[in-house]
């Protein structure tokens, strides 16, 4: 099989909080519901409108500890005071049947996937500028000012790690980025 027609097994999408990861993924999946997005477990509280089992599996600290202890997470990390992890079994099942799998996870998680699954492709979503990132994160209106500060602090570290990724996409237009991501995943 020619290299260019090989379907990447697993795609990781990372980028600073507020850059537009969820927006891009939602747009992409509206057109291509066959792209399977892993639902992570998190100890973060749900935002208004977020549903358990759809956006995240919302768990308490004890339940998260158990997921780790039982080896049920493919990777996990602490981000801005909460823990997040990818349930292993569902991802492995999808990869097993050859479906395109997408993980939307932070930099620490992306690094763990690079170690454990070197065939994965790592995509970094970057903002058009720092000012625009601040505007988006603030404008979303879902976090208190101190939480925004914490996320912006993490964003500096994440932006500095861009070169660790295979590809960077700049989120100027949601539609363009969604199409670029689909092309990278060989879906469209
Ligand atoms: N390592 C890891 N990071 C995750 C996982 N799920 C979500 N994240 C990341 O955790 C960070 C915070 O997510 P969230 O609280 O939903 O905020 P948002 O990305 O700003 O909407 C983001 O960088 C997510 O990509 C996961 O399962 N593992
Ligand atoms: N290309 C874009 N242009 C303008 N605003 C955007 C763009 N992409 C996302 N946004 C807005 O930025 C905010 C953060 O987007 P979101 O998808 O929640 O980011 P993330 O999942 O990376 O934290 C939202 O209010 C969203 O509507």
- CA-nearest residue for atom 27, ligand 1, is 85
The residues facing 107 across adjacent strands are: none
pLDDT of residue 98: 87
Residue 19 CA to ligand 2 center (angstroms) comes to: 6
What ipTM was predicted for this assembly?
A: 0.98
Residue 96 CA to ligand 2 center (angstroms) comes to: 32
- Angstrom distance (rounded) from CA 134 to CA 144: 13
Rg (Cα) of the chain, in Å, rounded? 16
Q: Would you say the CB of residue 88 lies under 6 angstroms from ligand 1?
A: no
Ligand nearest to the CA of 136: 2
Tens digit of pLDDT per residue, the chain (188 long)?
444 445 558 999 999 999 999 999 999 999 898 899 999 999 999 999 999 999 999 999 999 999 999 999 999 999 999 999 999 999 999 999 988 899 999 999 999 999 999 999 999 999 999 999 999 999 999 889 999 999 999 999 999 999 999 999 999 999 999 999 999 998 76
- Angstrom distance (rounded) from CA 106 to CA 182: 20
**SS3 category, 130:** helix
Find the helix packing angle between 145-160 and 130-140, rounded to 10°: 150
93 CB contacts (<8 Å, ≥6 apart)? none
Residue 166 CB coordination number (10 Å): 14
**SS3 category, 76:** strand
Pocket test for ligand 1, best of 25, 38, 40, 161 (most atoms within 8 A of CB): 40
Q: What are the boundaries of each domain within the chain? A: 3-184
pLDDT of residue 8: 58
Is-contact 185 8, C-beta < 8 A?
yes
Ligand nearest to the CA of 26: 2
User: Looking at domain 3-184, does it have CATH number 3.40.50.300?
Assistant: yes
pTM exceeds 0.80, yes or no: yes
CA distances from 61 to 17, 67, 80, 158 (A): 22, 10, 15, 25
pLDDT of residue 5: 45
Residue 73 CA to ligand 1 center (angstroms) comes to: 14
Nearest CA among 105, 28, 50, 43 for reference residue 74: 105
């Amino acid at each position: 099989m020619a290299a260019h027609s090989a379907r990447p097994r697993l795609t990781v999408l990372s980028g600073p909080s507020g850059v537009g990861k969820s927006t891009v993924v939602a747009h992409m999946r509206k057109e291509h519901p066959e792209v399977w997005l892993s639902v992570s477990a998190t100890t973060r509280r749900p935002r208004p409108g977020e549903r358990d089992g759809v956006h995240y599996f919302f768990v308490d600290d004890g339940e998260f500890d158990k997921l780790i202890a039982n080896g049920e997470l493919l990777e996990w990390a602490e981000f801005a005071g909460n823990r997040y992890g990818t349930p292993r079994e569902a991802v492995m099942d999808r990869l097993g049947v050859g479906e395109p799998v997408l993980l939307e996870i932070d930099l620490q998680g992306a690094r763990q996937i690079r170690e454990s699954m070197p065939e994965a492709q790592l995509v970094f979503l970057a903002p058009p500028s720092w000012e625009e990132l601040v505007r988006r994160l603030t404008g979303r209106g879902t976090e208190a000012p101190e939480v925004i500060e914490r996320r912006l602090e993490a964003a500096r570290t994440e932006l500095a790690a861009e070169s660790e990724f295979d590809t960077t996409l700049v989120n100027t237009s949601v539609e363009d980025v969604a199409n670029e991501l689909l092309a990278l995943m060989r879906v469209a």
